Amino acid sequence: MNKYKKITLDGLIFSNPTFMLVLGTCPTLAMIKSSALSAAGMGLCVLVVLTLSNMIISALRKVIPNQVRIPCYIVIIATLVTLVQMVLEKFVPSLYDSLGTFLALIVVNCIVLGRAEAFANKHTVIESAVDGLANGAGFTVALTVMGIVCEFLGSGSVFGLQIMNFKIAIFSSPAGAFIIYGLSIALFTYIIDVFQRSRRVKANKLARENLLDRNGAETAEVNV
Amino acid sequence: MNFVLLILSAVLTNNFITVKTYGICPFLGVSKNTKSAVGMGVAVTVVMTLATLVTYPIYKFIMTPLNITFLWIIFFIFIIAALVQMLEAIIRKVSPSLYNTMGVYLPLITTNCAVLGVTQLFNGVNDLSAIITGATGAMNLGWAVLYALFAGVGFTLVMIIMSGLREKLNCCKVSKSLEGFPVSMIAAAFICMAFTIFMQIKV
């Protein structure tokens, strides 16, 4: 169980694909500048493709010859993306239109190929599925949060609901998306840094107290 | 006149990095110094042009008559991968010095949004075909290849600007959490802002 917890935490936080590894930047920037809804939709599409591709690649990891593994992965991913594209076009045409060309570009999203290469071809199907879900969720949450911030600053609305009546046009252009993305990475790494430092301090303190206790006991014994 | 309009549109008003946000990974990853930025830019330009040159006839004369255009993602990604492999082999054989400056970036290009993005020029999935028809009034192989070539030039231009900025940024003192990607992204935001001025161009 502990293993799955570690995979999940790694995907969501400690090696979050968007903030820590800075992968899949093109769809991130394009989607957060357009709207929170399309950012969330993009995230969910990547989540589906990533989970399925991780499972298929991990199931086939003993079948695919090592020398031609990358082309094989690309075929699997391209097929999945084509399927997702067809499903969206049929059932959610509005999302299909707002994702536009970036839906097809999931094929060349480094996150999907990166997880296949770094994780799925060495682990079991269930572990790979958990990894895909965790990384996909990390990507989706990151995109949605940044999409909300960008949409709110750019048009005063959240998920299309008008909240305040103001508009800072730059936040619905690539420049604003770059600024929000850069600041988000900075904030995220800062929080992780503080968290890990406090954990280290706590661990150090615990170790020192243990040591002091033991020393104390020793000195007490000596005194006696 | 059409020619000038198309070039201006490809290089400045619809720049791939600053307006379309294609190819951000190499833009942030390989722009640490000007030499590698130029190498990457040239490699992307060459692959984009060749990919358009090859995929346009295949789309038009093989996939459309057979009604298999829905398979374009699988087809195009394979064509690009094969093209990049071939190009790498040829350059390594013909000119080792060119390989050292440009060839090392070639394998990275297969998974570059800009290349797959530009091959969608003519299948109507994105608005690039509208840019070409808007500028020239017609859509054919010549215009498409020309557009891809100059979109690559625009890409290289922004890469060079960015690498210059980052070389200067190395000399600055930046607070620890902003170091690396965050500060280069904010620098990139200023390049984007500068490029929005070209939106005003009306010919």
A107 CB contacts (<8 Å, ≥6 apart)? A74, A77, A78, A81, B73, B77, B116
Q: What is the pLDDT of residue A160?
A: 85
| A100 close to B (CB below 8 A) | yes
Identify the DSSP state of A41. H
For chain B, the residues whose C-beta falls within 8 A of a C-beta of chain A are 18-25, 28, 70-71, 73-74, 77-78, 81, 110-113, 116-117, 120, 125-127, 176-178, 181-186, 188-190, 192-193, 196
Q: What is the pLDDT of residue A78?
A: 93
Burial class (CB in 10 A: 0-12, 13-18, 19+), A19: buried
Task: Nearest by CB to A110, from B19, B111, B176: name it.
Answer: B111
* Radius of gyration, CA atoms only, chain A: 22
Quick: pLDDT tens for B135-154.
Answer: 777 778 888 899 899 999 99
Task: Nearest by CB to B73, from A25, A33, A82: name it.
Answer: A82
3-class DSSP state of A161: strand
Torsion, Cα A193 A195 A197 A200, to 10 degrees, reads -140
B109 neighbors B47 (Cβ within 8 angstroms): yes
Contact B28 A74 (CB under 8 A): no
pTM score, two decimals? 0.87
A80 neighbors A53 (Cβ within 8 angstroms): yes
Q: What is the pLDDT of residue A175?
A: 93
CA A30 to chain centroid, in Å, comes to 16
Contact A82 B24 (CB under 8 A): no
**In which band, very low, low, confident or very high, does the pLDDT at B35 lie, cut at 50, 70 and 90?**
confident
What percentage of chain B reaches a pLDDT higher than 70?
Answer: 95
User: Beta strands of A57-160 (E only): which ranges?
Assistant: 157-158
Quick: pLDDT tens for B151-173.
Answer: 999 999 999 999 999 998 888 88
Quick: pLDDT tens for A3-16.
Answer: 899 999 888 888 89
Query: Residue B190: is its pLDDT beyond 70?
Result: yes
Neighbouring CB atoms inside 10 A of B98's CB total 13
Mutate: best of A87, A101, A115, partner B, most B CBs <10 A: A101
Q: Nearest C-alpha of chain B: how many angstroms from A108?
A: 5
- Which residues on chain B are in Cβ contact (under 8 Å) with A22? 28, 181
Which of 133-162 (A) contact B at CB < 8 A?
none
**What does each C-alpha distance from B159 to A47, A172, B30 come to in angstroms?**
31, 23, 9
Q: What is the pLDDT of residue B124?
A: 61
B125 versus B99: the higher-pLDDT residue is B99
**In which band, very low, low, confident or very high, does the pLDDT at B30 lie, cut at 50, 70 and 90?**
confident
Burial class (CB in 10 A: 0-12, 13-18, 19+), B71: middle
Residue of chain B with shortest Cα separation from A32: B21
* Radius of gyration, CA atoms only, chain B: 18
* Mean pLDDT, residues B32-42 taken together: 87
- Which residues on chain B are in Cβ contact (under 8 Å) with A86? 70
Tokens of A37: 């809804």
**In which band, very low, low, confident or very high, does the pLDDT at B174 lie, cut at 50, 70 and 90?**
confident
Quick: pLDDT tens for B105-127.
Answer: 777 787 788 888 888 776 666 66
B122 neighbors B60 (Cβ within 8 angstroms): yes
In terms of residues, how long is chain B? 203
Q: Nearest C-alpha of chain A: how many angstroms from B143?
A: 21
Q: Is the ipTM of this complex over 0.90?
A: no
In chain A, which residues have pLDDT < 50?
224
